[in-house]
């Protein structure tokens, strides 16, 4: 009997691991870590058909990794709890330390793309308090509205070139997106530097920032113009909350 109980316990643990053992489902977990959304929105952001996204979400739901809530005619999906994101972080951490192929990919592509050391969460929080940096969220607007860094300005990547005039001259810009392997921040930094701006990226993303217990804001504000001194004051007020 004890052996059977132990086997059943590990069977349930394996069920969780099996549900997460898919590149597509890991990407969906990263997307849902930004905020809840409908299957149609998930499919659009992940580049999947609605049917394919639904199948992945069903597997995650059956394993208890995501939850659903009805909103009118739509069903919205969300992570079942913060521990689900911790599972994703744990997979990333182990892979970064133990997976040689991942290390080669990061060195060959990401670090070759941007060799400058990214800014840490602690340094960014300090500099935001001092008002010496402009923080730009380059994720889609709905992700920014769900949660963002205090004082961050929302400029989605596909609008960045058109909205460079919103950024104050002479101040470093820090771009962030969904996580350490999200390419939006890399692309944003490249655009900013090509236009003569001093730019770096945050080493992680919004969910990691939140998991560290650092302050966040929500709501669709931050898309107006950015003035030189007003942005300083806005960031200081938000970070002190």
Q: Name the CATH architecture for the domain at 2-85.
A: Orthogonal Bundle (1.10)
Q: Please tell me the pTM assigned to this model.
A: 0.87
Domain with CATH 1.10.10.10 in the chain: 2-85
pLDDT tens, residue by residue, 216-241 = 999 886 654 444 343 433 433 343 33
- Span 116-131, mean pLDDT? 94
The reported pLDDT for the residue numbered 2 is 83
- Span 116-143, mean pLDDT? 95
Rounded Cα gap, residues 133 and 184, in angstroms: 19
pLDDT tens, residue by residue, 13-40 = 999 999 999 999 999 999 999 999 999 9
The reported pLDDT for the residue numbered 228 is 39
Q: Which CATH code of 3.40.640.10, 3.90.700.10, 3.40.250.10, 2.40.30.110 fits the domain covering 114-240?
A: 3.40.250.10
Q: Is the dihedral of CA 91, 95, 101, 104 positive or negative?
A: positive
Rounded Cα gap, residues 238 and 241, in angstroms: 6
CA dihedral 105, 109, 112, 118 (to 10 degrees): -80
**177 is annotated as an active-site residue:** yes
Residue pair 85/79 in contact by the 8 Å Cβ criterion:
yes
Residue among 59, 167, 177, 182 flagged as catalytic: 177
């Amino acid at each position: 009997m004890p052996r059977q109980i132990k086997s059943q316990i590990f069977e349930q643990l394996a069920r969780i691991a099996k549900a997460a053992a898919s590149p597509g489902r890991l990407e969906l977990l990263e997307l849902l870590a930004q905020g809840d959304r409908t299957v149609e929105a998930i499919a659009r952001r992940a580049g999947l058909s609605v049917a394919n996204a639904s199948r992945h979400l069903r597997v995650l739901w059956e394993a208890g990794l995501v939850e659903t809530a009805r909103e009118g005619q739509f069903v919205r999906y969300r992570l079942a709890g913060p521990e689900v994101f911790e599972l994703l972080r744990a997979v990333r951490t182990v892979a970064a330390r133990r997976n040689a192929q991942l290390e080669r990919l990061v060195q060959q592509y990401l670090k070759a793309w941007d060799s400058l050391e990214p800014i840490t969460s602690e340094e960014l929080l300090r500099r935001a308090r001092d008002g010496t940096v402009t923080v730009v969220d380059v994720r889609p607007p709905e992700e920014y509205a769900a949660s963002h860094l205090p004082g961050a300005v929302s400029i989605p990547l596909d609008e960045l070139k058109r909205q460079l005039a919103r950024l104050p001259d002479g101040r470093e810009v820090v771009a962030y997106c969904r996580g350490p392997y999200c390419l939006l921040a890399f692309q944003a930094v490249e655009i900013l530097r090509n236009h003569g701006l001093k730019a770096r990226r945050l080493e992680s993303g919004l969910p990691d920032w939140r998991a560290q217990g650092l302050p966040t804001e929500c709501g669709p504000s931050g898309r107006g113009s950015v003035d030189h001194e007003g942005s300083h004051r806005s960031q200081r007020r938000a970070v002190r909350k």
